[in-house]
Structure 1
Amino acid sequence: MDDVTVTLKKSASIIKDEIDASLSNIIPQDLKNASIYLTNAGGKMLRPGLTLLTCQLVGGSESDAVKSGVAIELIHTFSLIHDDIMDDDEVRRGQPAVHVKWDEPLAILSGDILFSKAFEIALSLKESNPNVSSDAVLETLNTIADSCIKICEGQALDMSFEGNFEVCEDDYLDMIFKKTGALIAAATKIGAIAGGADLNDISTLYEYGKLIGLAFQIHDDYLDLTSDEESLGKPIGSDIAEGKMTLIVVNALEKANDEDKQTILKILKEENNSLEQIDQVMNLFNKYGSIEYASNIAQTYVNDAKKILSNFEDSYAKETLLKLADYVIGRST
C-alpha cells in the first residue's frame, strides 16, 4: 500500500502543477479561486494516476499522458462540485464545499468551466506530444464525453433510487458503474490511448478500470458500516440514516424474512434515526451476511481486474496497477 501511496502522491503533484497552469488565466478572481479550490484541498487523484500508469504499461512515457490525466481530473472535480450542490452536502475533503464557501451560482460556474477546460486540454494533446495521431485525440475526446454522459445518467439513477426499495442488484451495479466506474474506466482507457496501445489493449484496460471502479464504490458502501468516524470523516452508518440504497441494503432486503425486511424498511424510511436503530439495521445486515457479501463482490472484481493484467509484460507500471487494484478495497477512507 505504501508504494501505491507514494506513486499516487508523485503523479498528483505533476497533475496539480499542470492544473494550476491550465486554470491560471481564469477571470474574475472569485471564479478562478472556486475552480481551483478542490484541487488545492488535496485528494488522492486516483484517476489521473491510473492514466499515467496505463500509458506507461503499454510503452508510453509518463509525460505523454499528463494532459489526458489533467482532463480526467477536471471532469472528476466538476462532478464533485455539482454533486455537492444536488445532494446538499456541505463538506468536501474536510472543508466547506464550493457552494458553501461561495454560493451556488458561482459553484455551478466553476464546475462548468472545469468541464469546458477538460475538453480544451484534451483538444491540445498534440501540442505536448506531436506523435499523437488525430484519431487518438478524437478517441480521447469521445471517451471523456461518454464518461460524462454516463456520470449524468448514474447521478439521475441514484436520485431515482431514493425511496425506491425495490431496486435489484443489477440495477444498482449499473448505477454505480455509470456514476463512479465509468470515469475510472475512462481514465485507464485514455492512458492506453496516450501510450499508443492497440485496440485490444485499449479495450482491456477500459475493462480493468471498470472493474476496479465498481470495487471502489462497493468498498465505499462497506466502509460506511465498518470504518470509524475519524477515518471516514462522517458518522458510521450515515447511509442507513439517509436511507440510501447500497449493495448491502439490496442484498439484505432480498434475503430477509418479512419481519426483518419490514424492520429494515421502517428504519431506512425514517428521517431521524437513533444510534440504536442504526445498530439494529447493522445487526440485521450481519445476520444475513450482507456486509460480507458486498466485501466478497468487491474482492471478486479486484481479482478479475488483476487477471486482466496478466497478458502485459512485467514492469513497474504493471506491478503498481496490480497493487492499485488491491488498494481500492484496502483503503480506510
Structure 2
Amino acid sequence: MDVMNLMKELEATVAQVNHYIYPLLVGRPKVLYDASSHLIRTGGKRLRPFLTIKSFELFDDDVKRVLPAAAALEFIHNFTLVHDDIMDHDRIRHNAPTVHAKYGVPIAIVAGDVLFAKAFLSVVLGMRKMSVDESIIVRVLELAAESAIKISEGQAKDLKMASSKKFYSTKTYLDMIRSKTATLFEASCRVGSIVGGASIEDEESMANFGKNLGIAFQLVDDVLGVVGDPRVTGKPVGSDLREGKKTQVVSLAIKLADDRGRVKIQGVFGRRKATQEELDEALAIISKTGAADRVRNEARFYASEALLALRRYSDSPAKKSLSELMDFVVVRKL
C-alpha cells in the first residue's frame, strides 16, 4: 500500500470538494452559515466524496459531472454529524469544538437542517448545470433520500441500544452500523457508478464494496474510540467508554474480562465524571483482553469481502485508489 500517494489523493479530493462546497455555504444570517460550514472547515477526510469520485472514475473520467453528487453526500454526512453530536453530548470533533458547543444547540439544529437541504439542491442544480440526464438526477435524489432515512433508522437503533442496560449481540450491533455508517459508504459508491454509466451488475458490485468498507471502517472506529491516540483521532482517549457507547470493542472486552476487570470497566462505562486514573485502569484491562485486536481482525474480514467486489474490474488508477483506501481503513490510526 502506497500510503503517501493515497494521502495525496485524499488531500486533492478534499481541496476539490471544498472548492465546490464552500461557495454553497455562504449566506445570511452569517451565524447560521458559519455554523453550517464549521465541521467542514475544521477537517474531515472526505472519504465519502472520494469514494463517489473514484467509483465514477472506474467508468468515466469527466469528474465535473459527479462532483455535485459527491458534495451532496458530504453535506448529508456532515448533517448527521451535527445532529449526532447534539444527541451524544459530544463537544470535540476534528480537534475542535462541535457545532453545538461553539454556536449553541438551537443554531446547531438549524445548521444541520441547512446542510440536509443543500445536499438535494447540489444534486439538482449542480448536475443540471453539468447536463446530466434527468433520469440519473432523479435516481441520485432517491438514493440520497433513502440513505438519510436509513441513517436515521440506524441512529434510532443506536439510541435504543444506548438507553438499555444490556449489551447487545454482535448480530444486532452489526445491523445497527450497517444502517448508521455503512449506508452512506454504500450510497457513495453506488451514486458514483450510476453517474459514470455503470451497468446494473457493476452498480451492485460497487454498492457491495461500499457497504463492506463502511462496516470495516466503523469497526476500526470502535477500536480507535477506546485505544486511539487523541493527538491523531481528535477525540479524548477512551471517549467511547466514558460516554457509554456500546461498541463492539467494549461489549467484547466485558465478555472476555475476569470478574474484577468486568467490574472496573463497568464502573467507568457511561460515567462522564470518571477520573482519568479510573479510565486508564479500565483501558488497560480492555487492552489485556485482546478485544481491540479481535475487532480489528473482524474489520479485516469485511475488508476482504469489499476487495472481492473489485476483482471484476481491470487494473486502473481508480481501482488502485479504492484498494489502497480499503487497506488504509483497516490499519489506520485516525
Query: How far apart, CA to CA, are the structure 2 residues paired with 1:86 and 1:268?
Result: 18
1:166 equivalent in alignment to 2:167: yes
CA shift in 2, pair 1:34/1:321, >3 Å: same
Deviation at 1:282, TM superposition (A): 3.7
One-letter amino acid of the structure 2 residue matched with residue 224 of structure 1 = G
CA contact (8 A) 2:93 2:235 kept: no
Q: Secondary structure at the match of 2:311?
A: helix
Count of aligned positions: 331
Match of 1:152 in 2: 152
CA shift in 2, pair 1:238/1:32, >3 Å: closer
Match of 2:299 in 1: 298
Match of 1:224 in 2: 225
Query: How far apart, CA to CA, are the structure 2 residues paired with 1:115 and 1:274?
Result: 38
Match of 2:329 in 1: 328
CA shift in 2, pair 1:113/1:326, >3 Å: same
Match of 1:2 in 2: 4
Query: How far apart, CA to CA, are the structure 2 residues paired with 1:100 and 1:223?
Result: 23
Per-residue displacement from partner, 1:182-217 (whole Å, max 9, x unpaired)?
111111111111101111111111111111111111
Match of 1:213 in 2: 214
CA contact (8 A) 1:53 1:62 kept: no
Q: Which consecutive residues of structure 1, in runs of 5 or more, have no partner in the other structure? A: none
Deviation at 1:233, TM superposition (A): 2.7
Deviation at 1:66, TM superposition (A): 0.2
Within a 5 Å distance, the mapping from 1:18-33 to structure 2 comes to: 18-24=20-26, 26-33=27-34
Match of 1:123 in 2: 124
CA contact (8 A) 1:60 1:196 kept: no
CA contact (8 A) 2:219 2:296 kept: yes
CA contact (8 A) 2:92 2:235 kept: no
Q: Which consecutive residues of structure 2, in runs of 5 or more, have no partner in the other structure? A: none
Q: Secondary structure at the match of 1:236?
A: coil
Q: Secondary structure at the match of 2:60?
A: coil
Q: Secondary structure at the match of 2:44?
A: coil
CA contact (8 A) 2:226 2:237 kept: yes
1:13 equivalent in alignment to 2:15: yes
Q: Secondary structure at the match of 1:197?
A: coil
Deviation at 1:29, TM superposition (A): 1.9
Deviation at 1:15, TM superposition (A): 1.0
CA contact (8 A) 2:68 2:127 kept: no
Query: How far apart, CA to CA, are the structure 2 residues paired with 1:20 and 1:234?
Result: 25
One-letter amino acid of the structure 2 residue matched with residue 134 of structure 1 = E
Deviation at 1:40, TM superposition (A): 1.8
CA contact (8 A) 1:186 1:206 kept: yes
CA shift in 2, pair 1:287/1:43, >3 Å: closer
Deviation at 1:302, TM superposition (A): 1.1
CA contact (8 A) 2:10 2:45 kept: yes
Query: How far apart, CA to CA, are the structure 2 residues paired with 1:21 and 1:104?
Result: 24
TM superposition score normalised by structure 2: 0.91
One-letter amino acid of the structure 1 residue matched with residue 182 of structure 2 = G
Match of 2:184 in 1: 183
CA shift in 2, pair 1:299/1:153, >3 Å: same
CA shift in 2, pair 1:166/1:328, >3 Å: same
Query: How far apart, CA to CA, are the structure 1 residues paired with 2:232 and 2:282?
Result: 22
Within a 5 Å distance, the mapping from 1:238-317 to structure 2 comes to: 238-255=239-256, 261-268=262-269, 270-317=271-318
CA contact (8 A) 2:190 2:204 kept: yes
CA contact (8 A) 1:165 1:245 kept: no
Query: How far apart, CA to CA, are the structure 2 residues paired with 1:33 and 1:276?
Result: 38
1:135 equivalent in alignment to 2:142: no
CA contact (8 A) 1:55 1:64 kept: no
Name the stretch that deviates more: 308-317 or 36-45. 36-45
Identity %: 35
CA shift in 2, pair 1:141/1:287, >3 Å: same
RMSD: 2.1
CA contact (8 A) 2:150 2:180 kept: yes
One-letter amino acid of the structure 1 residue matched with residue 112 of structure 2 = G
Query: How far apart, CA to CA, are the structure 2 residues paired with 1:156 and 1:115?
Result: 18
Query: How far apart, CA to CA, are the structure 2 residues paired with 1:37 and 1:273?
Result: 30
Query: How far apart, CA to CA, are the structure 2 residues paired with 1:58 and 1:293?
Result: 36
1:34 equivalent in alignment to 2:35: yes
Match of 2:103 in 1: 102
Q: Secondary structure at the match of 2:286?
A: helix
Name the stretch that deviates more: 232-241 or 309-318. 232-241
Deviation at 1:23, TM superposition (A): 2.8
Query: How far apart, CA to CA, are the structure 1 residues paired with 2:166 and 2:249?
Result: 12
Deviation at 1:270, TM superposition (A): 4.5
CA contact (8 A) 2:72 2:120 kept: yes
